[in-house]
Structure 1
Amino acid sequence: MDLFNTEKISNILPYDGIVNYYGKVLKLSEAKHFYDCLLQTIEWKNDEAIIFGKHIVTKRKAAWYGDSNYAYTYSGTTKQALVWTKELLELKKITQQHTGETFNSCLLNLYHDGNEGMSWHSDDETSLGINTAIASISFGAERKFSFKHKKSKQTFSVMLETGSLLLMKGATQSHWLHALPKTSIIKKARINLTFRTIVL
């Protein structure tokens, strides 16, 4: 018996890329279990960035895990991958089964409330290769995730529910920016896992 939905997932991007939104792939009780475990077991640290030569420490916290001690550089700072936790390996397996992709690393972000977000950017670092696949699983507060085309400036958004899965692949990072807009309405925390593949 096939436990997973093998129906073709439609592309929610209008052009120049592929974004598949699978919706909730975990039951509410499962999502809560993983949310609680991730809060307690992940080695969260305030994220850092170099912006216009200035060193910034964010309120948002982050962590980087992988198959090996991969170095990942973004926003002018470098992280060394930690060893997978039991829960992260379970979530990687679920993500790979749904998407058909294979991942060797994961960047996690902890947003304490809606006042913390992510500005427009593309995940186009050299270490990820060209036209890479990135899968995102969300836990906790439901948040809006937005896309903006680099040339046409067309924008659209999708609400990411707790326990939901989204996959960006194809030329998405080359042609589109994405962001997690800030909002004063959201008072609860959100944990986001982005499974990636470091090119060796």
Structure 2
Amino acid sequence: MDLFSDDASLVPIPIEDGELAMLARMPLPASPAQVLEQLIQETTWRAETIVLYGKRFLQPRLTAWFGEAAYTYSGLTLAPAPMTPLLNGLRSTVEDLTGHRYNSVLLNYYRDGADSMGMHSDDEPELGPAPAIASLSLGATRTFVLRHKLNKRTVKIDLRDASLLLMAGELQKYWLHGINKTAKPIGARLNLTFRYVA
């Protein structure tokens, strides 16, 4: 299966207990580098502290939350900023490609290989029992790791510049996902995860 063909439609990725699909290169209003730079420059980034296992930790990346509703995870409540014209345009394209509606987007800014995302599920109640989450990557390629909660099976996917990954069905119920640190010299990466918050 070629996940990186030039076909402009999502390619299903076979996976148990959930739905996963990928588009190698999402159509953008400008070059991926230009969109990346504009988002970095026009976003007010935050270094948030979250609570894990009763302890407070500074997240190893910068974040921003846009949309129609507040969002709470790991003891942190994010108040939404209004969608910018660029984010609204990207959301519209993502909705057309995935067939799902989104009213919010979380931006994660990985400045280099030392920035990461711990293993987790996007299973907060306000996302519903089977959320569709669309993840647009811009910038440096990073490896997306999924691990099944019961049988511990691991799936790894390289998320390249302008790729779009859709997680849906019961994926969040049965799988954890994250981005590991890397010691390799690596450039900046921006990840936009579009979701619907009730």
Q: Which has the higher strand share?
A: 1
Could you say what the CA RMSD is over the residues aligned between the two structures, in angstroms? 1.6
Question: Which runs of structure 2 are paired with 1:181-196 in the superposition (5 Å)?
Answer: 181-196=180-195
Q: Which 5+ residue runs of structure 2 have no aligned equivalent?
A: 1-6
Count of matched residue positions in the alignment of Structure 1 and Structure 2? 192
Structure 1 Cα separation of the partners of residues 15 and 55 of structure 2: 37
- The letter of the residue matching 1:38 is L
Q: Deviation of residue 29 (structure 1)?
A: 5.6
- The letter of the residue matching 2:15 is P
Structure 2 Cα separation of the partners of residues 155 and 173 of structure 1: 14
Structure 2 Cα separation of the partners of residues 15 and 125 of structure 1: 21
Structure 1 Cα separation of the partners of residues 86 and 168 of structure 2: 24
Q: Cα gap change, 1:14/1:59 in structure 2, threshold over 3 Å: closer, same or farther? A: closer
Question: How does the TM-score come out when normalised to structure 2?
Answer: 0.92
1:26 and 1:164 in contact (8 A); partners too: no
Q: Which residue of 2 aligns with 1:119?
A: 118
Q: Deviation of residue 27 (structure 1)?
A: 6.4
Q: Deviation of residue 33 (structure 1)?
A: 1.4
Question: Which runs of structure 2 are paired with 1:1-200 in the superposition (5 Å)?
Answer: 5-6=8-9, 9-26=10-27, 30-66=31-67, 68=68, 70-199=69-198
Q: Cα gap change, 1:158/1:34 in structure 2, threshold over 3 Å: closer, same or farther? A: same
Q: Deviation of residue 14 (structure 1)?
A: 2.4
Q: Which 5+ residue runs of structure 1 have no aligned equivalent?
A: none
Q: Cα gap change, 1:64/1:28 in structure 2, threshold over 3 Å: closer, same or farther? A: closer
Q: Deviation of residue 193 (structure 1)?
A: 0.1
SS of 2:27's equivalent in the other structure is coil
